[in-house]
């Protein structure tokens, strides 16, 4: 469900599709900037489950360009994530694929009627091992961290 104000985000799983939504108090332009700048991505991408070292983030903002980052779990385990941009429609939509898993992620940013922005992350083609409540909670926590970053 879509939450308003400072409410916690929600996430839904439907087969191989995971959708997280959140309302943020900031307009679409600032949300977009957070999703396409290395410093912005490092500030929120790990959600509540990991940190992202700022120097690890690569953004080649063009179709076919790379988007990559390291996530560091509380245990110290670091994992490199790599994505390839499919389409970019500033400031409303980013689509990127993760070649290792085949997951396609679409980030949609819309102006909210009462101010701020509504953000949705839609992931499809999730492998069976990622169709879990933990994955849904992790994606929702990324949007919660985004809202905190933008405050």
User: Could you tell me the CATH number of the domain that includes residue 144?
Assistant: 3.30.530.20
Flag whether 66 is in a domain: yes
Domain that holds residue 95: 10-150
Give me the number of domains the chain comprises.
1
Residue 5 resides in a domain: no
Instruction: Give a yes or no: residue 63 inside a domain.
Output: yes
Phi, psi of 64 (to 5 degrees): 90, -10
Instruction: Say whether 121 sits in a helix, a strand or coil.
Output: strand
CB 31 within 8 A of CB 38: no
Asked whether residue 135 carries a pLDDT value surpassing 80, the answer given is yes
Strand partners, 72: 51, 78
pLDDT at 3 over 90: no
* Mean pLDDT, the chain, integer: 91
pLDDT (average), residues 41-63: 94
Looking at the domain assignment, is residue 27 inside a domain?
Answer: yes
The answer on pLDDT for 49 being more than 90 is no
Does residue 97 form part of some domain?
yes
| pLDDT tens-place string over residues 90-127 | 999 999 999 999 999 999 999 999 899 999 999 999 99
Q: What is the mean pLDDT of residues 52-58?
A: 95
- Bridging pattern class, strands 78-89 and 58-59: unpaired
**Residue 150: partners with Cβ closer than 8 Å, 6 or more residues away:** 24, 25, 26, 30, 31, 34
Query: What whole-number distance in Å separates Cα of residue 132 and Cα of residue 116?
Result: 30
- pTM for this prediction: 0.90
19 located within any domain: yes
* DSSP codes joined into one string, 47-87: TTTEE--GGG-EE--STT-EEEEEEEETTS-EEEEEEEEEE
Would residue 78 count as lying in a domain?
yes
- Residue 93 belongs to some domain of the structure: yes
What is the reported pLDDT for 17? 95
pLDDT of 6 higher than 70: no
Rounded Cα distance between 78 and 133, Å, is 22
């Amino acid at each position: 469900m879509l939450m308003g104000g400072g409410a916690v985000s929600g996430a839904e799983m439907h087969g191989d599709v995971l959708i997280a939504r959140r309302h943020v108090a900031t307009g679409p332009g600032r949300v977009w900037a957070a999703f396409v700048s290395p410093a912005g991505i490092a500030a929120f991408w790990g959600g509540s489950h990991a940190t992202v070292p700022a120097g690890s983030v690569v953004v080649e903002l063009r179709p076919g360009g790379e988007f990559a980052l390291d996530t560091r779990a509380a245990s110290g385990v670091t994992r490199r994530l790599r994505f390839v941009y499919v389409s970019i429609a500033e400031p409303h939509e980013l689509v990127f694929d993760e070649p290792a898993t085949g997951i396609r992620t679409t980030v949609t940013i819309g102006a909210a009627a009462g101010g701020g922005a509504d953000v949705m992350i839609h992931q499809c083609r999730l492998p069976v091992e990622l169709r879990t409540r933990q994955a849904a909670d992790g994606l929702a926590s990324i949007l919660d961290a985004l809202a905190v970053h933008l405050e």
